[in-house]
Amino acid sequence: METKSIMIVGVGGQGSLLASKLLGRLLMDEGYDVKVSEVHGMSQRGGSVVTYVRFGDKVYSPIITEGEADIIISFEKLEAARYAKFLKKDGLIVVNTQQIDPMPVIIGAATYPEEVLTELTDKGLNIEAMDALSLAVQAGSPKAVNIVLMGRAAKQFDIPYERWIKAIENTVAERFVEMNKKAFDLGYNY
């Protein structure tokens, strides 16, 4: 099969590393060649964070470039817009509608483009927006936004539901398994 490219983007501290860990391991267990690329360090301090996940028969490059992503999973609205140009024609953006102001907006040096998702939809991008934060809170923790979004994106993969649940059980600490399963279901059945 041709290599598939998934981007997970968000703000440092939102839990993108857990999402990519879960996805990477699941894809390996499904028998694919997998590469997952993350950047540590500065980006953890509230900066823009991007993780690349690629899978297929044989994956060479660990990174994704403009017009290559099959799916972009975004934990935040502005970050979805920032990385939209990476989306392939006919690709899909799954985005949490949460708005986190970056410092230039906080100090009034820039404006947050509130309607940017509508703008991108009008340009023909396929965008599924959802309030994943509320669903995460409903599942038991605002930190479960990552798993809610994974649940929403899961149907795009040729992997049965049970395997996702198994992957959650294998990835998260035991005391958080039930909460994360609930978060996954809320995204999956959205």
Partner 1 sequence: MKKLLIGNQAVACGLHDGGLGVVSSYPGTPSTEITEFLSTYDDIHSEWAPNEKVACEVAFGASLAGARSACAMKHVGLNVAADPLFTLSYTGVNGGMVICVADDPAMHSSQNEQDSRHYAIASKVPMLEPADSQEAYTFAKSAFELSEKYDTPVLLRMCTRIAHSQSIVELTEKQDAVLKNYEKNPAKYIMMPGNAIKRHPFVEERTAKLTELAEDCMYNTVEYNSDEIGIITSGCSYLYVKEVMGDKASILKIGMPNPLPVQLIKDFASKVKKLYVIEELDPIIENHVKSLGIDVIGKEKFSILGEFSQQTIAKAFDMDDKCGVTADSAIPMRPPMMCAGCPHRGMFYTLSKNKITVHGDIGCYTLGAVAPLNALDSTLCMGASISGLHGYNCARGEETEKKSVAVIGDSTFMHSGMTGLVNVAYNATNSTVIILDNSITGMTGHQQNPTTGYNIKGDPAAKVDLEALCKALGINRVRVVDPYDLKACETAVKEELAVEEPSVIISRRPCVLLKSVKLQPSLNVDADKCKSCKRCMGLGCPAISMKDGKAKIDNTLCVGCGVCKQLCAFDAIV
Amino acid at position 8, single letter: I
Minimum distance, C-beta of residue 98 to partner 1, in the bound complex (Å): 10
Region from 58-66, 157-165, 168-176, 182-190 binding partner 1, contact rule CB under 8 A: 58-66
Rounded Cα–Cα distance for residues 62 and 88 (Å): 17
Among 7, 8, 19, 125, binds partner 1 (CB under 8 A): 125
Residue 113 vs 160, nearer CB to partner 1: 113
Contacts of 103 (CB under 8 A, 6+ apart): 46
Residue 140 touching partner 1 (CB under 8 A): no
Residue 12 vs 179, nearer CB to partner 1: 12
Residue 22 touching partner 1 (CB under 8 A): no
Among 102, 130, 146, 168, binds partner 1 (CB under 8 A): 102
Residue 101 vs 178, nearer CB to partner 1: 101
Of the candidates 50, 37, 22, which has an alpha carbon nearest to the alpha carbon of residue 153? 22
Residue 89 vs 189, nearer CB to partner 1: 89
25 φ, ψ to 5°? -65, -40
Residue 88 touching partner 1 (CB under 8 A): yes
> Pairing between strand 4-11 and 48-56?
antiparallel
Residue 36 touching partner 1 (CB under 8 A): yes
Among 1, 2, 42, 174, binds partner 1 (CB under 8 A): 42
Residue 35 touching partner 1 (CB under 8 A): yes
Binding site for partner 1 (CB under 8 A): 11-12, 24-25, 28, 33-48, 59-63, 65-68, 78-79, 81-82, 84-88, 101-113, 115-116, 119-120, 123-125, 142
